[in-house]
């Protein structure tokens, strides 16, 4: 299935903007207050999109707040969406795109019906193909660290028309390798946050560390 067959309109625009961003910070933290601070610091670092996982306490409220206080060009993502009820709640909160680590039947159709995009997880060739045929705007190759850039390159060789987003273990040290292997864009988990600096409220250090990902992404565009 070609990209034009699987994505159209708003969904296609969202995908193009994620491609342009090159990197999605994926925020998964144990405390709501810490997550709220981290969101502000990631925005200060220059990110134009953030995915907040539903495993974060108060995630829906944080998604809604982020959507309300950022401009329309900023993309708000909701991650670890495992069922349609959660997906509907994320859409109601204002999420622009929904991310799942696995196949969730009906998720892509629900997202598209509301002008959103769905990034569906897959690791094996069969899973990647199933996610794409199920209507995913892009396939989240997860966990990327299990196969590394060589695994992604093999997936890209077999499915050159499927936008692939490796997530899980992506770092400053290997991000360029994933892009060279064929990633349309990458998801960076808590590697994007200097956890020790965040813990001691050294906001400057957190911003500098996160900005390095933004700068690297810009150099790879």
Which of these, 117, 85, 124, lies nearest to 102 by C-alpha position? 124
Structure tokens at 163: 């936008």
- Annotated catalytic residue 140: yes
Ramachandran angles phi, psi of 115, nearest 5°: 70, 25
Cα–Cα distance between 71 and 30 in angstroms, integer?
27
Q: Alpha-carbon distance 171 to 134, whole Å?
A: 29
105 included as an active-site residue = no
User: Pick from 185, 191, 194: which is nearest to 77 by CA?
Assistant: 185
Q: Which of 33, 44, 140, 180 is catalytic?
A: 140
Q: In this structure, how many other beta carbons lie within 10 angstroms of the beta carbon of residue 15?
A: 21
Catalytic residue among 51, 61, 105, 127: 51
- Tell me the three state secondary structure of residue 203: helix
Active site residues: 51, 140
């Amino acid at each position: 299935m070609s990209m034009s067959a699987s994505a159209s309109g708003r969904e296609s625009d969202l995908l193009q903007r994620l491609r342009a961003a090159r990197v999605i910070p994926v925020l998964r933290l144990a405390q709501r207050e810490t997550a709220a601070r981290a969101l502000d610091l990631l925005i200060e670092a220059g990110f134009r999109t953030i995915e907040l996982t539903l495993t974060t306490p108060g995630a829906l409220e944080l998604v809604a707040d982020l959507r309300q206080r950022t401009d329309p060009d900023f993309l708000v993502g909701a991650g670890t969406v495992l069922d349609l009820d959660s997906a509907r709640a994320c859409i109601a909160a204002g999420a622009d795109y929904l991310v799942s680590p696995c196949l969730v039947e009906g998720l892509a159709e629900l997202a598209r019906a509301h002008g959103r995009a769905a990034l569906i997880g897959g690791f094996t060739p069969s899973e990647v193909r199933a996610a794409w045929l199920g209507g995913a705007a892009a396939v989240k190759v997860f966990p990327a660290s299990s196969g590394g850039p060589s695994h992604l390159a093999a997936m890209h060789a077999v499915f050159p028309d499927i936008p692939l987003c490796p997530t899980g273990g992506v770092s400053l040290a290997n991000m360029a390798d994933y892009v060279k292997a064929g990633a349309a864009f990458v998801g960076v988990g808590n590697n994007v946050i200097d956890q020790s600096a965040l813990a001691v409220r050294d906001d400057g250090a957190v911003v500098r560390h996160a900005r390095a990902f933004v700068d690297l992404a810009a150099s790879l565009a």
